[in-house]
Amino acid sequence: MRTIEWDAGVVRLVDQTKLPQEYIILEYDDYLGVGKAIKEMEIRGAPAIGAAAAFGMALAAVKSKAGTRDEFLRDLEEASLYLGGTRPTAVNLFWALERMLRRARSSDIADLDLLREDLVAEAQRVADEDVVINKRMGANGAALIVDGMSILTHCNAGALATVDFGTTLGVMRAAHAQGKRIHVYVDETRPYLQGARLTAWELMQEGIPMTLITDNMAGHFISRGKVDIVLVGADRVAANGDVANKIGTYSLAVLARENGIPFYSVVPTSTVDLQTTTGEDIPIEERDHREVTHVRGVPIAPEGVQVANPAFDVTPHRYVTGIVTEEGIAYPPFEINLRRVVEKAK
């Protein structure tokens, strides 16, 4: 199945906290459950979070007991506030919520039951469009990949981070399908281990050659000439090209620049936030400290230790070679070319 899908009034999603040991499908029939799934990272990845938010709003519409349009819109706005508080860094979350609210507010459908059906259809469009967009990104990014290339990636930007196909891993899937021989070095991605648990699993499912490494091995392999290109996703891209992605991405960008290796972020245009001028304005989520002190419930640090756990860092645009989108690859100056691809997508 897709990472997330709508099934007769129920949102079904792959529980990413259980992979790779267990493949479990969770079902939620209200927006509170979907919000919990986003918050607890049962579903994660910017595009997948956007689709989850859209389906959460669809559930809010279906479950609303409102008898008037004003009451109905208030129910949707309440759901939007709740869902918007789950993951503050991923801009796709807010993009999807605003899209659903805009659809409801601007609709000329008077019958509330028909409006509910329309919002379910709009959420489904968000999900379906994501798959098409990912495949277009994959084709655009595959043009960067040369036969025999070694790629380094961080976190998980595959099918699991989207509705299907993937952003960064979508580029790899497209290149692999073209017959290009590639090898992928996968950072484990501490502390939540999305690389070890999810990216490695996805690449093995696809039969794409890969090697799992710890995050602090990346510099070793880059300095030895083992890496030709760094590809990562993003949770938000500022108007100037600053990239917010999983913590540890900034270090890779610096390493890539020092060693003359291109560094690309692969994102849908919905992840580009033209309202955010620079990366300094992007909120950085601080997550549960137990993610650092424990691994799968097993303590690995002294009890009571002081911990910091920012989920993301910001890579300044000067370290970014280009940003791959469904509308092409944006190169510097990003202020001009990111706006161009976003407007083209609209």
Cα 327 to Cα 271: distance, rounded to the nearest angstrom: 13
Contact indicator for 19, 198 with CB cutoff of 8 Å: yes
Cα 207 to Cα 217: distance, rounded to the nearest angstrom: 23
Rounded to 5°, angle at Cα 51 from 47 and 54: 140
Q: Which of these, 57, 20, 62, 64, lies nearest to 38 by C-alpha position? A: 57
Q: Which of 187, 235, 273, 313 is catalytic?
A: 235
215 part of the active site: no
Cα 324 to Cα 213: distance, rounded to the nearest angstrom: 25
Cα 337 to Cα 328: distance, rounded to the nearest angstrom: 10
Cα 320 to Cα 266: distance, rounded to the nearest angstrom: 11
Q: CA distances (Å), 67 to each of 64, 97, 111, in order?
A: 9, 22, 10
Q: Which structure tokens are listed for 107? A: 């609709």
Catalytically active residues are 235
